[in-house]
Amino acid sequence: MASQESDATVDVTVSGTVAGLLDSYRRLDIPLQRYLFLILAPAFVFFLGTIAAAVVLNQPLFIRIPIPLLGLLLFATAVFYPKVQLSQRKRELNNRFHLLVTHMTILSTTKIDRMEVFRALAEEEEYGELAVEMGRVVELVDTWNQSLDDACRRRAKEVPSDALSDFFDRLAYNLGSGQSLKDYLVNEQDMIIDNYTTVYEGTLGNLNVMKDLYLSMILSMTFALVFAVVLPVLTGTDPLLTVSAVIVLFIFVQSGFYLAIRSIAPYDPLWFHPEEYPSPVEKVFNRRFATGMALSGLLAFIAYGGMFGLSPVTLDMLIPFWSPVPLPLYAAVPITPLLIPGLTVRAEEQRVKARDQEFPSFIRALGATEGAKQSTTSAVLSSLRHKDFGPLTPNIDNLYKRLNMRIEPAKAWRYFTAECRSYLIQTFSEMYLVGREMGGSPKMLGELIAQNMNQVLQLRQQREQETTTLIGLLYGITAASTFAFFIGLQVVSILADLSLGLESTSNFDVTTLINTSVYNIPLIEFLLIIIIVFNGLLSALMIRTLDGGHKLSSYFHFVALTWLGALTAVLTRWLVTQFLAI
């Protein structure tokens, strides 16, 4: 009975997967026949060709086996690409859904027609796929003369996002029953925020699973790499070949997890990067980045130029208390100046986060006061700018000065958002500005924006906790895996020295038991150092992807993880030498 239930469950899962795959083919952006003949069929022919090549080639089995695997990978990619593309589109729709609905609610409270709300949202390029969907609704109404509720109902059947599909369905029903767009959206705010919270928290839950899987895979790769270093002592095989193969697999696994985290992490950037309104902070970042890169280039020339006799100054001269300088430090020392832009950006990120925390209070106070006094934004800011809004206070003061100088309100607000450098402040400030220009109630606008932004900030706190957990995990894995790598390498190095000593004092052929002659210890150590640097790079990118920070902030963790790996390697080799010497 239990086996029958298990078989039924498997059948349901398989049928569901096949149905989802077929549905993704139906939603392709290109005609199905073109995809089948131009992409899927050539991939299948290539797969058959790799199978034939594996059969015909006169090569060892371990060389022939990967050939059809490459063909299978390409064919599987072609088969499942529509599914992946559909998942990416669904993710894009879900990422900005709450912002679009908030923007729609604000526009609906103004004096414009409900179709103008959809037209305005369709022109917002920032919303990406959501703007495309708004444009399709507008097209159905304007070109095909359908009613708005029929157009929403039709698009609800086509969009891959469950949240957007449900939103269109309920919107169509309420509009068809005579309810106004404003009443519906204002009443639906709590439900929409709850749906967004559920999706956001579900994404964070998926990241938790991904972290556990990453830990188990990296530990497995570490175990395999240690065996690849140590086993040739007993088998006599070429350690360079085994170590290189495991290193390639290690890099492949880490790259795969980075791409997975990048695809799973919710789209919630911290920074706003204006092009037409550059901020003084950007100039500071550029100067610090140029300084860090120049110093890194100088240290790299000293380290590697001194090693090959091209530089009059060597790394031993820079670190006289540690001579000769261990090989791992040749990787860590040259990249150290990258801490300059990394630390600068991290300090500014803390100020951006502090401004985000103060903005809901500011926009609520601005809307309430502006509504009560029935006055202009400039008049209200004359009193608000003296209140304490933390790091946001100087920016509010500058906004007041620009408005008081009769600068166009839209331009003054855009300078304000450029100075704040916050993605959320830019997005919600733009909504408030547009809502006021179109005659919306300032009190309602302030309340709606503050409520939505507070919810996003609460979710960001959960995301920050997940990021902190990931940082601890990555630093721990870096130290543990490097410790394991260099224990194996140092044990082999000591055995090589021991076998040389035995050969010089005895007629017994030690190489029959210990095959150390096949080892090139410095070259294997160099390969392990490559793993340390690559691990530091990808781990820093994972952290930056999850926390949504500035791209320059990843330099801090890159340098820190590389130094952690380098120092762990040096300390491990010294400890193993001390213990085995006893």
DSSP string, 406-453: T--HHHHHHHHHHHH-BHHHHHHHHHHHHHHHTT--HHHHHHHHHHHH
- Which residue stretches of 520-553 are H helix? 521-547
Q: Calculate the CA 142 to chain-centre distance.
A: 39
* Residues 430, 433, 438, 444, CA torsion sign: positive
The pTM (predicted TM-score) of the whole model is 0.86
Band of residue 509 on the pLDDT scale cut at 50, 70, 90: low
Give the C-alpha separation, 499 to 234, whole Å. 13
Q: Half-sphere exposure (CA, 13 Å, Cβ side) for 550? A: 27
Residue at token pair 């609610």: 105
Q: What share of the chain is helix, strand, coil (3-state, %, to 5)?
A: 80, 0, 20
* Residue 439 burial (CB count, 10 A): 10
Residue-level pLDDT at 32: 84
What are the DSSP calls for 221-247, one per residue?
HHHHHHHHHHTHHHH---HHHHHHHHH
Residue-level pLDDT at 61: 65
Three-state DSSP class for residue 109 = coil
Residue-level pLDDT at 365: 93
At position 274, the amino acid (one-letter code) is: P
Burial of 356 from C-beta contacts in 10 A (0-12 / 13-18 / 19+): buried
Give the C-alpha separation, 15 to 7, whole Å. 12
pLDDT at 564 over 70: yes
Look at 268-272, 336-340, 539-543 and tell me which has the smallest mean pLDDT.
268-272
Give per-residue pLDDT as tens, 6-61: 454 445 456 767 777 887 888 777 888 888 888 999 999 999 998 998 888 876 66
Give per-residue pLDDT as tens, 73-102: 888 888 888 888 888 888 888 888 888 999
User: Among 329, 327, 341, which Cα is nearest to 295's?
Assistant: 341
The larger pLDDT score, comparing residue 535 to residue 56, is at: 535
Three-state DSSP class for residue 561 = helix
The larger pLDDT score, comparing residue 1 to residue 107, is at: 107
Give per-residue pLDDT as tens, 121-177: 999 888 989 999 999 999 999 999 899 999 999 999 889 888 889 999 999 999 988
At position 343, the amino acid (one-letter code) is: L
pLDDT at 507 over 60: no
Q: For residues 552-568, give the mean pLDDT.
A: 96
Give the C-alpha separation, 296 to 299, whole Å. 5
Give per-residue pLDDT as tens, 231-281: 888 777 788 888 888 888 888 889 888 988 988 888 889 999 887 777 778
Q: Are 103 and 44 in contact (CB under 8 A)?
A: no
User: Among 197, 128, 258, 272, which Cα is nearest to 460's?
Assistant: 197
| Mean pLDDT, the chain, whole residue set | 87
Residue-level pLDDT at 134: 95
User: Among 442, 432, 435, 398, which Cα is nearest to 416's?
Assistant: 398
The larger pLDDT score, comparing residue 578 to residue 271, is at: 271
Residue at token pair 């140029």: 290
Look at 38-47, 52-61, 298-307, 363-372 and tell me which has the smallest mean pLDDT.
52-61
- CA dist 464 → 225, 266, 483, 519 (Å): 33, 12, 29, 45
